[in-house]
Amino acid sequence: MFEYKGYAAAVEFDDQARVFHGEVAGTRDVVTFEGASVDELERAFRDSVDDYLEFCRQRGEEPDKPFSGKVPLRIRPELHRRVHLAAASSGMSVNAWLSTVIEKETAAARPPSREKRKRA
């Protein structure tokens, strides 16, 4: 998974054409790219995001953002109460506490940076 300027890539491999192809994930606009190697694919992804942002700028349009930062959430009332109490005991708002917990729990799911991949 690649990330660049807040955009993420969904990638597949076409074994018949022997090429990776991808699409910027989470947007209504269709932004695609392809490459024969991982490095070529990553470059094409970044170039496609840059081209998309420039295209939107030239047209005077706001680019589609993949995520708004708002997560609608429905939970059981008892769990809501426990979340509220945990946040209060930490001196935080429910939103801040949930953000902290989600950040901690998802940190391991982040793809390694390009530098870390090179060292591995």
Residue 56 has pLDDT above 80, yes or no: yes
Residue 112 has pLDDT above 90, yes or no: no
Q: Are strands 32-35 and 3-4 parallel, antiparallel or unpaired?
A: unpaired
Identify the band that residue 117 occupies on the pLDDT scale cut at 50, 70 and 90. very low
Task: Please give the model's pTM, rounded to 2 decimal places.
Answer: 0.59
Mean pLDDT of the 1-24 span: 90
The residue that leads in pLDDT, 108 or 87, is: 87
Residue 71 has pLDDT above 60, yes or no: yes
Torsion sign (Cα): 84, 87, 93, 96: negative
What class has domain 3-59? Answer: alpha beta
